[in-house]
Amino acid sequence: MLAIDRHEKIMQLLMKNKTISVKALCDILQVSEATIRRDLTLLENENKLERTHGGASISDSIKLNYEATFDQKELMASDEKRRIAARAFGLLKPHDSLVIDSGTTTLELARLIGESTMPLLVITNATTISTIISRNKQVEFYVLGGRVRLNTQSTVGTMAIDMLKRFNTNKAFVGVNGITVENGLTTPDLEEAEIKKTMLSVAEERIVLTDSTKFQKVARCQIAPLSMVDKIITDMQLSNQYYDQFLQHDVLIDRV
């Protein structure tokens, strides 16, 4: 492991736990205390953390600053997103037909499909998926037509929805921006919400891919109630409290 990776990891751990001991870092990173101490003094000089006796801590102001400058959240999530996508990929069987939503997690799923040679039928509204999924020559691939939302690069509107309704698929993989028991699945854009809802309605098995940060958040537009979801794949950061709460509503949650 490179020194820079170690520093990154230390910062990630601090972002989650606020404080961490030198001992713990030794165990996790498998290096000597001397190395950890050197790392911590170095990071302290860069104003990224504060040293304490026996470890280090991070203040809220530094934390915010760090998040802003390095967009740490996105990076941290990316590893989790890959794991979530990998689990989703594990659900696939040869000759499955899928609808794949736009979004970063689903994009990872598309990448895995592109790297595989599994024969599949894939339908998507994400134009960005096209390049990476077409590496897999076994895929029969459909893009939904319609107006392209410029910031998500995905097609929306009645054209896309009408076309989507002509399909029936085994599985739908949908991303969301918020998910609660009360409000179900939510997303900020109405048109996105509508096409996501249609995706769920044309599939036999409806799977939501989302990192744990989206739980207990509510975005402006509802996609669908929880009852329209068969399975949620998320990361290990999801607390048992939410996990149990969703289980009681018959939603299967897979934490990877």
Partner DNA sequence: TTCATTTTGATTGATTTTGATCGATTGCAA
Partner DNA sequence: TTGCAATCGATCAAAATCAATCAAAATGAA
- Kindly list the residues in this chain that would bind a copy of itself in the complex (CB under 8 A): 2-5, 8, 18-19, 21, 52-55, 57, 60, 70-71, 75, 127-128, 130-131, 134, 137, 139-148, 150, 153, 155, 159-160, 163
Residues 121, 169: Cα–Cα separation, whole Å: 9
CB of 220 to DNA, least distance (A): 35
Classify residue 86 as left (phi > 0), alpha (psi -120 to 50) or beta.
alpha
Strand (E) or helix (H) holding 232 = strand 231-234
Among residues 249, 93, 233, the alpha carbon closest in space to that of 169 is found at 93
CA atoms within a 13 Å half-sphere pointing along the CA-CB vector of 171: 22
CB of 147 to a copy of itself, least distance (A): 5
Q: What is the dihedral of CA 165, 167, 173, 178, to 10 degrees?
A: 0
CB of 70 to a copy of itself, least distance (A): 7
User: Which residue(s) pair with 208 in the sheet?
Assistant: 174, 232
Residue matched to tokens 């751990």: 13
**23/95 with CB nearer DNA:** 23
**55/103 with CB nearer DNA:** 55
The DSSP symbol for 212 reads G
SS3 175: strand
Q: In what order do the strands lie in the sheet with 55-57?
A: 19-21, 55-57, 50-52
Residue 37 touches which of a copy of itself, DNA, none (Cβ within 5-8 Å per kind) = DNA
**191/253 with CB nearer a copy of itself:** 191
Binding site for DNA (CB under 7 A): 3, 6, 21-23, 31-35, 37-38, 41, 51-55
Among residues 244, 177, 169, 175, the alpha carbon closest in space to that of 207 is found at 175
Residues 20, 6: Cα–Cα separation, whole Å: 14
Residue 68 touches which of DNA, a copy of itself, none (Cβ within 5-8 Å per kind) = none
Residue 5 touches which of DNA, a copy of itself, none (Cβ within 5-8 Å per kind) = a copy of itself
Residue 77 touches which of DNA, a copy of itself, none (Cβ within 5-8 Å per kind) = none
CB of 33 to DNA, least distance (A): 6
**5/250 with CB nearer DNA:** 5
CB of 78 to DNA, least distance (A): 20
Residues 183, 186: Cα–Cα separation, whole Å: 7
Residue 147 touches which of a copy of itself, DNA, none (Cβ within 5-8 Å per kind) = a copy of itself
Residue 34 touches which of DNA, a copy of itself, none (Cβ within 5-8 Å per kind) = DNA
Residue 18 touches which of a copy of itself, DNA, none (Cβ within 5-8 Å per kind) = a copy of itself
CB of 244 to a copy of itself, least distance (A): 35
Q: Which tokens hold the place of 229?
A: 């979801």
CB of 136 to a copy of itself, least distance (A): 9
Q: Which tokens hold the place of 174?
A: 């949908």
